[in-house]
Amino acid sequence: MKEQQVWFITGCSSGFGHALAETALEHGERVVATARNPQQLNDLVLQYGTRILALPLDVTQSFDIQAAVSQAIATFGQIDVLVNNAGYGVFGAVEEVSDADIKQQFETNVYGSLNVTRAVLPHLRRQRSGHILNISSSGGFVGFAGAGIYCASKFALEGWSEALAKEVAPLGIRVTIVEPGAFRTAFNSALVSPDQAIEDYAATSGQMLQWLDQMNGQQPGDPKRAATAILQAVHHSAPPLRLLLGADVLDVVHAKLEAVAADLAAWKDISIDTAFEGLAVSAIGG
């Protein structure tokens, strides 16, 4: 890996973004740290001077994206690592969440990260190198009651990330989906929930919202240690497509994989028996 890589990180005002920007700078990297209010990055600017470029960026605004990427290239000449971290959570039962909240969730978590990536890709292709990290969630692999809209946005993020990884691998560009569990960030404080709850969902969605409130400030995950793990993945010769962060994520992912495997086995014959009569078919693992 080249020395003094240039990182472009979205959503750096707090949480993962701030921790990752700080950790990359501590390791000698150069960082383009973006936030809707870049003044929240003054502590890093004062400490690291010209190795950090703090820029305003609202990932839902295409002009902001193009301006930030152009200024990053003009200042540092390249972008080596893109981290799509900006995002938030809309929680509540699928039926409870408003149309406006659903739309805004996708505008930020899906289209925001997608559009930043599409703006950076021409530079990575020209270099024939680079690493794109998309911050997903345990909810990007497992659907949770009370988090359907948030999970849908992260499932979408993971879908295009998997496809992109295959498209850009021959060009020397890597993609990693980061799936954190419960980390002690401002995420729980900033989530959006329905104005009016439906009583029928009290035992499902309602329980999720209560858990999020109770866990706020008590999450076991340390953002600084997560940032260190992400740096290790970036500097590894064979980084993973998925980087799970937290024992809680490992538990829920293993449980889902086991449940999927059980369904596949139980319904295998019926799944196969859908071809035209007499047509030879096969099943993976058959």
Query: Where do the CATH 3.40.50.720 domains begin and end in the chain?
Result: 6-245
Which residues touch 32 (CB under 8 Å, ≥6 apart)?
A: 6, 7, 8, 9, 52, 53, 55, 68, 71, 72, 75, 76, 79
Which residues touch 55 (CB under 8 Å, ≥6 apart)?
A: 32, 33, 34, 38, 67, 68, 71, 72
Is residue 133 within a helix (H) or strand (E), and if so which, with residue range? strand 130-135
Residue 1 pLDDT > 50, yes or no?
Answer: no
Which pLDDT band, with edges at 50, 70 and 90, does 279 fall under?
A: confident
Region 4-11 average pLDDT: 96
pLDDT tens readout for residues 204-262: 999 988 888 887 777 777 899 999 999 999 999 999 999 999 999 999 999 999 999 99
Predicted local distance difference test score (pLDDT) of residue 258: 98
pLDDT tens readout for residues 28-80: 999 999 999 999 999 999 999 999 999 999 999 999 999 999 999 999 999 99
What percent of the chain is predicted at pLDDT more than 90? Answer: 81
Residues taking part in catalysis: 136, 150, 154
How does the average pLDDT of the chain come out, rounded? 93
Transcribe 219-282 into DSSP letters.
-SB-HHHHHHHHHHHHTSSS--SEEEESHHHHHHHHHHHHHHHHHHHHTHHHHHTTSPTT----
Superfamily of domain 6-245: NAD(P)-binding Rossmann-like Domain (3.40.50.720)
From CA 41, how far away is CA 124, in angstroms rounded? 26
Which pLDDT band, with edges at 50, 70 and 90, does 286 fall under?
A: very low
